[in-house]
Structure 1
Amino acid sequence: MAHIREGDSLPVMGYVTSLFVRKMVAAAGPDVDAAALLTQAGLAPDDPWDPKLMVPDMRYYDLLETVADKIDATDLPIRVGASMRCDEYGALGLAWKAAPKLYGSLARVERYARLWTSVVEYELRDDPRGVLFILHRDGPRRLGMRLSNEATLASAVSLARQVCPVPFAPLEVQIRHAAPANTAYHEEYFGCPVRFEAELGALLISPDALAQPNILGDEGISRYLVSHLDRELSEVATEPALMVEAKDAIAQALSEGTPKMADIARSLGYSARSFHRRLSEHGLSFQTLAEDTRRELAEGLLRDERHSLAEIAFLTGFAEQSSFTRAFKRWVGKTPASYRKDRLTP
């Protein structure tokens, strides 16, 4: 019987807020099928925008790469970053506006970004010229991640410009990946030198800019919002462990077919009702979690040539390889064999 070999690890799944996904699709314009892209990401096209609803990071990167196949996406992350508004970030956006100074706004993101994503961490680091606002995101610098990182840096500048009483521009933007063919959009938007192939992904911000009082800064409101965010963060912090445990249990059960929620809940020590409630609090359903686990497991196994397609079909819960092929093509728009060839070709 096929099995995952000792020492193998399951792909680690991260999440980003669906707000970013919907913004990217909306900005891509009429040359893409917006409804199909949102469906590909696991979102219902006609549902209201819900920033607390999460999307797997790999699915987000796949979507961005699909968009880049249809249009010239060079300026897409800049346009999306520029479109972000403080109010769209809920309590975190309000805390950004209410912080007394810009440095305090950035410190809020450094501490509370986990409310919006599990794949990015931020760091404020002193530099001889000011302070670096650093974006940490692990993993290969695939196109989808590169576009996402550029949008993230652009959004931080957009939010800073919304609260700063004087025109704001960083001293320098540092981006880890190679430059696109045309960097004019980046330089015009950021208003400063943009250095690609840098050691960090970061904004270098001057002491004068950091010390600027925010237009709507309010100490009292800021303290209240920070208290609220602390409560939210304490609740979110308990969820990743449950997600990891649930995904592991689902992955191990897939070789016996599609697992049932009651069985997975029982294996984790929950009642079906309690398990369903906890998933709902994280913006997930069991069906979505099982589908995401199956897809992520398949993608990870396809990147390892030791596993045959028939074996991967079995390990991901399909009785026949043809069923696996149809499902995988629905997930990512290509067959398992094509996906493997693309990922393994230097």
Structure 2
Amino acid sequence: MAYVTSLFARKMVAAAGAGIDQRATLEGAGLNPDAPWDPKVMIPATTYYEMLEDMAEQTDVTELPIHVGASMRCDEYGALGLAWKAAPTLGASCARIARYARIWTGVVTYELREHPQGTLFILHREGERRLGLRLSNEATLASAVALARQVCPVPFSPLAVFVQHKAPESKAFHEAWFECPVTFGADLDAILISREAMERANILGDEGISRYLMSDLDGELARVQMPPAVVGQAKDAIAQSLNAGTPRMADIARGLGLSARSFHRRLSEHGMSFQALTEETRRELAEGLLRDEQYSLAEVAYLTGFSEQSSFTRAFKRWLGTTPASYRKALS
């Protein structure tokens, strides 16, 4: 079963204010209204979605997810929030969320993808596009922008925001808060961030603190990850096929003795997508190969499925916020 942190549920209820019966809503989600807010207390994702849908029957929730996203603070995310603040650039901050999000949630994965105008910070959440999931996606996108505004030395706004579900009756509030065009009915849930913004130094960027925090997060991720057999097998198969280019899901599924549909469902049960799993495998393989001096940067690029070293360099910088050469130099 997939879980989300109770912090999001409590934030949603608080933001709804007098429009709902807050105490009954929290109790209905299995939370003690009088207990301290502990982000490590988790609730089933389906319970969270049902709670949001019940709230929608009591009050207008059009603006609710934006209010909740705007209220998020780096410090509320514990070590992950500190790692976001201490990263040298916004690009590195986003890379850390993409890498460590599984510590906080089993239903969402993140991807950084190149775009002609910059970088797409993409939210992947599998499941039926029910109202609760849609509201949760909007809040997640808004929280990413809110956190970016807390670390940027100049006012930050994305170039564009994309949302897969249909638009509310008015999207004026969304566009006013994001300060950019918001496209509903898109083919992905994402924020488009300019290259300039991604490369700009964070206010509190600190390499020493970053190394300490990332070491701590790596340990925590290892404890919560414990990938099921199908994920481990898939990653092995992906790694072995990367030197022939980006693998196809149908081919990997066939090699595991599964249909593409069954493979997709098995990954979704663990809050993962094939695209995100391929990116994760590429990154992990690249990190491992860069630790071995016998492989040139061009060879590492080839073995991780890139036809050109420049494409590998851009992807690696998107993953870890630094270039492969700088990463190798830091290791030595």
Give 1:150's match in structure 2, choosing from 138, 151, 155: 138
In structure 2, the residue matched to 1:89 is 77
Give 2:28's aligned amino acid: Q
SS in structure 2 of the partner of residue 29 of structure 1: helix
* Stretches (4+) displaced over 6 A: none
Counterpart residue number, 1:185:
173
Give the structure 2 partner of residue 236 of structure 1. Answer: 224
**Which SS does the other structure have where 2:60 is aligned?**
coil
Q: 1:140 aligns with which of 110, 122, 128?
A: 128
Aligned pair 1:98/2:86, yes or no? yes
- Secondary structure of the corresponding residue to residue 114 of structure 2: strand
Q: RMSD of the TM alignment (CA)?
A: 1.1
1:39 aligns with 2:27: yes
Using the size of structure 1 for normalisation, the TM-score is 0.65
CA shift, 1:31, in A, is: 2.1
Distance 2:112 2:60 in 1: 33
Distance (whole Å) between structure 1 residues aligned to residue 15 and residue 54 of structure 2: 14
Which residues of structure 1 form unaligned runs of 5+? 1-12, 243-346
Structure with greater Cα Rg? 1
Distance 1:201-1:76 versus aligned 2 partners, 3 A rule: same
Aligned partner of 1:19 in structure 2 is: 7
Within the candidate set 162, 165, 184, 2:150 is matched to 162
1:171-221 CA-partner distances (Å, limit 9, x unpaired): 000000000111111000000000001011000000000011100000000
**For residue 196 of structure 2, what is the aligned residue in structure 1?**
208
| CA distance in 2: counterparts of 1:30 and 1:18, whole angstroms | 20
Give the aligned residue type for 1:121: T
- 1: CA distance, partners of 2:60 / 2:37: 26
1:223 aligns with 2:185: no
Write the deviation string for residues 258-310 of structure 1: whole angstroms up to 9, x where unpaired: xxxxxxxxxxxxxxxxxxxxxxxxxxxxxxxxxxxxxxxxxxxxxxxxxxxxx
Indicate the SS of the match to 2:10.
Answer: helix
Unaligned runs of 5+ in 2: 230-332
Residue 118 of structure 1 corresponds to: 106
TM-score (norm 2): 0.68
Equivalent of residue 52 in structure 1, options 15, 19, 40: 40
Question: 1:130 maps to which residue?
Answer: 118
The whole-number CA distance in structure 1 between the counterparts of 2:104 and 2:28 is 20
Query: For 1:303-341, what per-residue CA distance to the aligned partner results, in whole angstroms no more than 9, with x for missing partners?
Result: xxxxxxxxxxxxxxxxxxxxxxxxxxxxxxxxxxxxxxx
Give the number of equivalent residue pairs.
229
Q: Displacement, 1:241?
A: 5.4
Distance (whole Å) between structure 1 residues aligned to residue 127 and residue 154 of structure 2: 37
Q: Which residue of 1 aligns with 2:51?
A: 63
Identity %: 66
